[in-house]
């Protein structure tokens, strides 16, 4: 009776005996409260989404003190891949990929593995030569310990998500930094160099089994040109074409050792952007040429012969 009075005072229909099996109410308490009904439906939808996700295949990897899982799952949207990292403290980080994105990421990973092999061979040769020099000249303190250096980087662009693969080196060795950047969050995995080949093999085996070989799921996306990059001093510039629900655009990323910045330019503005860059390049080149000629002493040589100093990236200005 007390519960019935509570519902009546709030103008909320009270629950029936069937709504609360462990707490039967008098018969005059009729329909269940709306809040209980809404909550029950919400929980049912959540459970339905969870049960709709089906595990198709899984590979577990143990690399040093970390565990990695590569899973292929299916839900109402289709088949996708999940790469998860579980640290020694139990913390988890997960990256989700469509199978088409996983195909491209696998190709970039293979390239980084090849680069890592070359770097390791080069480091081995340098370490052997340094050992010989120490034996000949006596023990001397070496240079500073290597920092967190970026060796090579790849970017995989897909609608609503971007993936960054950064091969890095620090005082503990080489590793792969795998990052998924979406609209809402940024998730990172750190794979030690010993596990890069195992990760590639796991992805390759699952993709060979579950990927149909077609890119039908991305049939609406336009064919985009390949990404380009250039090295300028201690940073790398990446030029990536991308497409989302707002249209097609160009992303220019500047990647340094410890930072990454980017700008985006819509396709409709690319020609204007190109004209501005070309104009500035011509103007800056003329300023440099005038400055060089002003600093030179007068000479009897012909003005047609000019020596132009190289720019900072090693290319002569045109």
- Average per-residue pLDDT in the chain? 73
Tokens 């005082």 identify what position? 171
312 pLDDT more than 70? no
- Interatomic CA distance for residues 192 and 190, integer angstroms: 7
| Helix (H) or strand (E) segment spanning residue 278 | helix 270-295
* Lowest mean pLDDT across 90-99, 184-193, 237-246: 237-246
Quote the Cα angle for 213-162-78, to 5°: 40
**Backbone dihedral region for residue 233 (phi beyond 0: left; psi -120 to 50: alpha; all else: beta):** left
| Mean pLDDT in residue range 93-118 | 93
Which DSSP letter does residue 191 get? Answer: E
Which DSSP letter does residue 316 get? Answer: P
Categorize the per-residue pLDDT at 246 as very low, low, confident or very high, splitting at 50, 70 and 90: confident
252 pLDDT more than 60? yes
Could you report the per-residue pLDDT of 275-284, keeping only the tens digit for each?
999 999 988 8
Contact 60, 69 (CB under 8 A): yes
116 pLDDT more than 90? yes
Confidence (pLDDT) at 174: 93
Q: Bigger pLDDT: 83 or 231?
A: 83
Distances, alpha carbon 276 to alpha carbons 153, 248, 268, in Å: 28, 20, 14
Which three-class secondary structure string do you get for 36-47?
HHHHHHHHHHHH
What are the structural domains of the chain?
Answer: 2-46 (no CATH), 53-126+146-213 (3.30.2450.30), 222-291 (3.10.450.700)
Strongest mean pLDDT among 24-28, 117-121, 244-248, 257-261: 117-121
pTM for the model: 0.55
Q: Measure CA 59 to chain center.
A: 21
Contact 156, 163 (CB under 8 A): yes
* Contacts of residue 269, Cβ cutoff 8 Å, sequence gap at least 6: none
Confidence (pLDDT) at 317: 35
Confidence (pLDDT) at 162: 86
What 3-state class would DSSP assign to 87?
coil
* Contacts of residue 228, Cβ cutoff 8 Å, sequence gap at least 6: 238, 239
Q: What size, in residues, is the chain?
A: 318
Give the orientation angle of helix 99-137 with respect to helix 196-210, to 10 degrees: 160
270 pLDDT more than 80? yes
Confidence (pLDDT) at 291: 60
Could you report the per-residue pLDDT of 157-172, keeping only the tens digit for each?
887 788 999 999 998 8
Q: Bigger pLDDT: 136 or 257?
A: 257
Tokens 């040589």 identify what position? 301
């Amino acid at each position: 009776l007390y519960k019935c009075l509570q519902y009546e005072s709030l103008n909320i229909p009270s629950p029936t005996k069937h709504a609360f099996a462990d707490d039967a109410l008098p018969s005059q308490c009729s329909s269940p409260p709306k809040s209980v009904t809404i909550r029950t439906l919400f929980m049912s939808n959540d459970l339905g989404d969870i049960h709709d996700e089906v595990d198709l295949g899984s590979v577990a990897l143990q690399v040093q003190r970390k565990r990695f899982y590569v899973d292929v799952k299916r839900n109402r949207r289709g088949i996708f891949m999940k790469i998860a990292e579980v640290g020694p403290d139990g913390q988890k980080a997960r990256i989700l990929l469509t199978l088409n994105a996983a195909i491209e990421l696998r190709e970039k990973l293979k390239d980084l593995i090849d680069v890592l092999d070359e770097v390791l061979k080069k480091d081995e040769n340098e370490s052997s030569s340094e050992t010989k020099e120490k034996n000949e000249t006596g023990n001397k303190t070496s240079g500073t310990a290597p920092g967190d250096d970026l060796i090579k980087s790849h970017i995989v662009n897909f609608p609503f998500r971007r993936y960054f693969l950064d091969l890095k080196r620090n005082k503990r060795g080489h590793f792969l930094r795998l990052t998924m950047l979406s609209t809402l969050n940024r998730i990172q995995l750190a794979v030690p160099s010993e596990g890069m080949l195992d990760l590639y093999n796991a992805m390759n085996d699952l993709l060979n089994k579950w990927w149909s070989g077609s890119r039908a799921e991305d049939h609406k996306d336009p064919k985009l040109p390949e990404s380009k990059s250039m090295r300028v001093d201690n940073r790398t510039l990446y030029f990536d074409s991308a497409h989302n629900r707002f249209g097609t655009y160009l992303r220019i990323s500047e990647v340094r050792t410890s930072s990454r910045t980017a700008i985006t330019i819509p396709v409709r503005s690319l020609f204007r952007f190109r004209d501005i860059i070309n104009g500035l390049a011509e103007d800056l080149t003329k300023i440099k040429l005038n400055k060089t000629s002003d600093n030179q002493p007068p000479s009897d040589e012909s003005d047609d012969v000019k020596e132009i100093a190289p720019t900072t990236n090693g290319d002569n200005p045109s």
